Amino acid sequence: MKTYAPKAGDIKEQWFLVDAEGQVLGRLASRIAAVLRGKNDPRYAPYANMRNHVVVINADKIRLTGKKWSDKVYHRHSGWIGNLRSLTAEQVHEKHPTELLRHAVRGMIPHTRLGNATMTRLRLFAGPEHTHAAQKPVSLDLSRRRSGD
């Protein structure tokens, strides 16, 4: 008996639609990252591009628990001395409503060439409309995990 190894031709593109309204940021991001990598497919291989696309709508309506809106800080540095910039989650959300979710998903994807290719298949939209209706994305309910049901 041989081990199955998926080939590039065996893998078909799949499109998924996720509604982020009222979802907790980290939990939603971990589930989106798993779908992007293809871990929901029985043919999953960690080295393969599983060609899963995820379209997220209402990304501006995510939730953060506790006092994270004011306490969670995002840093960026230009490389020059004294150019460390820090913004709270609330400030980032005001400027770019989808960046909190993009940043969270990026942190859960491998930082490799495959991870970069995976992140290009994530589409985030702040409102309920998206531009990928022609791809007929399948709606995913990531609101809660089922415990043994």
Q: What is the pLDDT of residues 92-131, one digit of tens each?
A: 999 999 999 999 999 999 999 999 999 999 999 999 999 9
pLDDT digit string, tens, across residues 9-65: 888 999 999 999 999 999 999 999 999 999 999 889 999 999 999 999 999 999 999
Q: What are phi and psi of 112, to 5 degrees?
A: -135, -175
Which domains occur in the chain, in start order?
14-63+98-140 (3.90.1180.10)
Compute the C-alpha angle 97/103/107, nearest 5°: 160
Measured at the CA of 37, the angle between CA 145 and CA 33, to 5 degrees, comes to: 50
* CA-to-CA dists, residue 50 to 34, 55, 67, angstroms: 11, 16, 37
